[in-house]
């Protein structure tokens, strides 16, 4: 888009995160994500909207947007915060650090590690 207002409007009105949030409201645990590898940025944000998140043991989670001069834009400030609270979300956003599957499970970011 040629101007920031149009870009913001498109991003907020047509985000797949809105669809996932609506599906989770309707389906609950049946709306699930299975993740593996590097679950970063929008990959983490979108998964966190799901009613159930299962992660492979080798998964790594993080929100690196700030290091790129961005803020989480796929709903991460809502979806991740719902799962782990505002302080842990702030830690992930502001530090750019990643966490392993054990920490993600302990924090409630994932629901199971098969």
Tens-binned pLDDT, residue by residue, of the chain (114 aa): 788 787 767 766 666 777 667 766 777 777 899 999 999 998 999 899 999 999 999 999 999 988 888 777 666 678 899 999 999 999 999 999 999 999 999 999 999 998
pLDDT tens for residues 15-32? 677 766 776 677 777 789
User: Catalytic: 34?
Assistant: no
pTM over 0.85: no
Helix (H, G, I), strand (E, B) or coil at 36: coil
What confidence score (pLDDT) does residue 89 get?
95
**CA-based nearest residue to 39, from 104, 112, 107:** 104
CA 56 – CA 35 distance, rounded (Å): 6
User: Catalytic: 54?
Assistant: no
CA 46 – CA 74 distance, rounded (Å): 7
Instruction: Please identify which of the residues 46, 65, 75, 104 carries the catalytic annotation.
Output: 65
Instruction: Please identify which of the residues 20, 33, 45, 47 carries the catalytic annotation.
Output: 45
């Amino acid at each position: 888009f040629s101007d920031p207002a149009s870009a913001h409007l498109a991003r907020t009105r047509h985000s797949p995160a809105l669809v996932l949030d609506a599906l989770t409201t309707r389906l609950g645990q049946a709306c699930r994500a299975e993740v593996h590898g590097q679950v970063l940025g929008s990959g983490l944000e979108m998964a966190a909207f799901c009613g159930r998140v299962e992660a492979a043991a080798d998964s790594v989670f993080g929100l690196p947007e700030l290091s790129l001069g961005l803020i989480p834009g796929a709903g991460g400030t809502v979806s991740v915060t719902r799962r782990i609270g505002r302080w842990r979300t702030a830690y992930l956003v502001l530090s750019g650090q990643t966490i392993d599957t054990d920490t993600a499970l302990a924090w409630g970011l994932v629901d199971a590690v098969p």
